[in-house]
């Protein structure tokens, strides 16, 4: 399911980018 993929992506982004996860999401 795409939902799980998004969750994993968000968790990773939050750990790597933190508050800039939104920028990565838009870039993606």
**pLDDT tens digits, 1-28:** 788 888 888 777 766 655 565 666 666 6
- Alpha-carbon distance of 7 to 16, in angstroms, equals 14
Q: Where are the domains of the chain?
A: 1-28
Q: In this predicted structure, what is the pLDDT of residue 12? A: 79
Whether the pTM exceeds 0.95: the reply is no
Q: Where are the alpha helices (DSSP H) in 1-28?
A: 2-16, 21-27
- Alpha-carbon distance of 19 to 14, in angstroms, equals 7
Residues with Cβ within 8 Å of residue 17, at least 6 apart in sequence: 23, 24
Q: In this predicted structure, what is the pLDDT of residue 14? A: 67
């Amino acid at each position: 399911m795409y939902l799980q993929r998004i969750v994993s992506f968000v968790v990773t982004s939050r750990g790597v980018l933190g508050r800039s996860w939104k920028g990565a999401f838009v870039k993606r």
